[in-house]
A and B are shown apart, each in its own frame.
Chain A
Amino acid sequence: MPSSSGRTSKRFMPFQIDGTVVQNRQIKSVYFILGIHCPPIANLIQPGQFIMLKISEDHSPLLRRPFSVYKTYPENHPAKEKRGCLFICYKEVGKGTHKMTTLQKGKILNLIGPLGNGFTPPPLPSSANIILIGGGVGIVSVYPFAEAFNHLKLFVFIGGKTKKDILCVEDFKKLNSKIFVSTENGSLGFRGTVVDLFLSQRKIFTEDKKYYLYACGPMPMLKALAGKIKSRNFIAQASLEARMGCGFGACWGCVIKTNHSQTPYQRVCKEGPVFSFKDICWD
């Protein structure tokens, strides 16, 4: 569980370890769920943290690929077949993720994790209102946080290009959450971006209350959102994406520009992937 003070982390040291594929199935169009049996990482990983996956043993692709963990099941979980497993939900976008779609049950994969700093929860005890905003596959990065904070009131905004890009709705329905959906072509829910959707519901969020907002999605979405949540009653964090060379802080390849005066370029893999909205330089 995330600690009550500051960052989610209690930083656990990352492992480099093999896991076994237990499942790899298409859920819709270009979205897949990959299940990996890997108890050490499944036991420790916190919402918002990620793993680096070596997709193939040869050099194609050469680098590992970063993925958030969507669901995890500790070793004492009642469902025996899920014990010690972690699940990632991935979108097929290029060479590496294409190769991932061919992974078969039983295949051994090398993983590094848990990596990065996860979401910082609201201070305890809390009756805080939580807003989750996910664009496209970004919603899977915030889902574990919702699961961990199911006792609080959750407002969930899910957006995508078309209805085929809307993920996790069934998952959120099982939680104590109010769900809003948007698609850019209007094929499901509100027509527009998830940021437009959020703005359309802005009146729910009154100035006299504090809202803890957690977002993940493409950079343009986060940037648009950043301009709309400057008021003080939003305590907002974003999980960022960047191309990664290593994932554990060694190469400085994954940086993002922040408002830090001495070291403006901070590592998404090490100082992030979750940053406070106000620390990022959005221009």
Chain B
Amino acid sequence: MRNNNLRIKIGKMVLKNPVIVSSGTFGFGEEFEDFFDLNQLGAVVSKGISLKPMVGNPPPRIFETEGGLINSIGLQNPGLQEFIRNKLPYYRRLKTHLIVNIFGNTQTEYIELAKRLEGVRGISGLEMNISCPNIKKGGIVFGSDPRMAFHLIRKVRKATTSTLIVKLSPNVTDIASIAKSVEEGGADAVSLVNTFKAMAINIHSKKPEVGNIIGGLSGPAIKPIALRMVWEAHQAIKIPIIGMGGIMKAEDAIEFILAGASAIQMGTANLINPRAAIETIQGIKKYLVQNKIDRIQTLIGAFG
């Protein structure tokens, strides 16, 4: 078997394998270096970065539900300048792709982020988190309105030559139409899903279990819904899809690839088993050998 059989192309990036670690669940990379060699990963996505530092939400920030995790971290991050100065140097030393996850409260903020990251050494791609409210448009989430998403992506597209990935919110009625408008806006790829809006109440204290009342649900509990959304997006668009939502092991990853994902991301799994991504890469390799599949490419969307 050739050793490039796991290779996958997303925009301008050639990944050595389709396994990526997701935003907000992999710190700034360094937290994992004691557990495995990060260079083996297809790519790493940074924690979400905004123009200005964000202090995040009050605790408690996490709560475990059946097979899932509700988080309300509130996008705590040190801001763009501090990221470039103090976090990027570490990523630059890695022999894997860095995708910087960005988010803003206005169109202008997204454009500014893209511009200021343009040409910065060590960055292979941008992942736009559009699950944030547009404060200029009464707080409607960018990713829930196809027209708003289209205009936003078109503007950011002009501001960057990097591979542009748009991360979709699953909190929408029609994922296919959002995916389509993002494609038309000029994105190189979409990634989905972000977390599902969720909550939990403590019946003894009668208080919400996370400080922000509403949080985002991730983990195995969301996998079947995320998988369905990936398949719906796959039927609607031609640009590559990066699938995620509850992927814990190689079998889950292969399911997403069969549903139409070109690559996958793992989030919650990293927190529980820091080696989850590496074990998934090994598992995918094994699956290909056992099933005598030459290239992972041939698996994409190959179900039914």
List residues of A whose CB falls within 8 A of some B CB: 13-16, 54, 59-64, 110, 112, 242-246, 248-257, 262-265, 270
Q: What 0/1 pattern do residues 162 to 195 of B give for CB contact below 8 A with A?
A: 0000000000000000000000000000000000
Q: B32 and A250: CB pair below 8 A?
A: yes
User: Are A252 and B60 touching (Cβ within 8 A)?
Assistant: no
Q: Which of B62-70, B99-107, B128-136, B288-296 contacts A (4 or more CB under 8 A)?
A: B62-70
Quick one: closest A residue to B76, CB to CB?
Answer: A252
Q: Which A residues are CB-close (under 8 A) to B25?
A: 250-251
CA distance A15 to B35 in the complex (A): 7
Question: What is the CB-to-nearest-CB distance from A265 to chain B, in angstroms, rounded to a whole number?
Answer: 5
- B156 proximal to A (CB < 8 A): no
Given known pairs A63-B272, A64-B272, A246-B271, the reply for A14 and B59 (CB within 8 Å) is: no
Quick check: B61 and A253 within 8 Å, CB to CB? yes
* Cβ–Cβ < 8 Å partners of B60 in chain A: 242-243
Band of interface residues on B: 35 or more
Q: Which residue of the partner chain, among A15, A54, A242, contacts B272 with CB atoms under 8 Å?
A: A54
Residue from B31, B58, B275 within 8 A of A16 (CB atoms): B275
**Residues on B close to A: CB < 8 A?**
24-27, 31-32, 34-35, 53, 55-56, 58-64, 66-69, 71, 73, 76, 78, 219-220, 248, 268, 270-275
**A61/B64 in contact, CB under 8 A:** yes
Q: Can you sample 21 A-B contacts with CB below 8 Å?
A: A60-B66, A60-B67, A62-B68, A63-B271, A63-B272, A243-B64, A245-B62, A245-B71, A246-B274, A248-B31, A250-B25, A250-B32, A252-B24, A252-B73, A253-B71, A253-B73, A254-B61, A254-B62, A255-B56, A255-B59, A265-B56
Chain A positions within 8 Å of B61 at CB level: 243, 252-255
Contacts of A62 in B (CB 8 A): 64, 67-69, 219-220, 268, 272
- Which A residues lie within 8 Å of B24 (CB)? 251-252
- Which of B25, B27, B32, B67 has the largest number of chain A CB atoms within 10 A? B27
A112 to B32, CA, bound (A): 12
Of all chain A residues, the one with the shortest Cβ separation from B33 is A13
Task: Knowing that A59-B248, A251-B24, A253-B71 touch, tell me 9 more A-B residue pairs with CB under 8 angstroms.
Answer: A16-B35, A16-B274, A243-B62, A245-B71, A249-B27, A250-B27, A250-B274, A254-B59, A255-B76
